[in-house]
Amino acid sequence: MAEIEFIIPPNKPLKVTVESVFSMHDLYRHIRKWLDEHKYVTFEKDYREVAKESGKSAAIKLAPWRKVDDYTKFCIDIKIKFKDLKEVETRSGILNQGEVSVKFESFLEKDYENRWENNFMTRFIRSLNDHFFISDKLEGYKAELRDDTYDLFNEIKSFLGLHRIQKP
């Protein structure tokens, strides 16, 4: 089984929530464009839409990933929730008014092809390899994935008209 190391963990995700006027479709396209430009393969895990009297609600779960090498893969989980969306007509066309919430989690998936899971000895060698031989390379990968996650997070904040934040 692949080993997962969280960079932005599920219990402390990056999150942006705003109530404003925006285009739901343009937000989704903006996210997909950023992922395509950074060579992530995007997998849409879930899409749910419910129409209520107060407006339309929707939830989208994306699971983009990118192979870094034969051993390591970057994964970013993105959860987008739209609440009480109503269509409003503006000078620039028909837009959505309501609340949008976007959460980001990211993790490094090591040995994603399960090549090192055959028996105890290969798992032990993999552990030695991770901790002593390629630890510097893995630290660089963690920093790169953290940078990618914060970059996408800041792109979404910019799209929604909010201020950027610096990564810790």
Q: What is the pLDDT of residue 62?
A: 97
Q: Is the pTM of this model over 0.75?
A: yes
Range 49-62 average pLDDT: 91
Find all residues with CB under 8 Å of 138, minimum gap 6, and list them: 72, 108, 110, 130
CA distance 42 to 51: 26
* For residue 137, pLDDT beyond 80: yes
Cα gap 39→65, rounded to integer Å = 9
Give me the residue label for tokens 């090192």. Answer: 116
39 falls in which pLDDT band (50, 70, 90)? very high
Q: What per-residue confidence (pLDDT) applies to 168?
A: 54
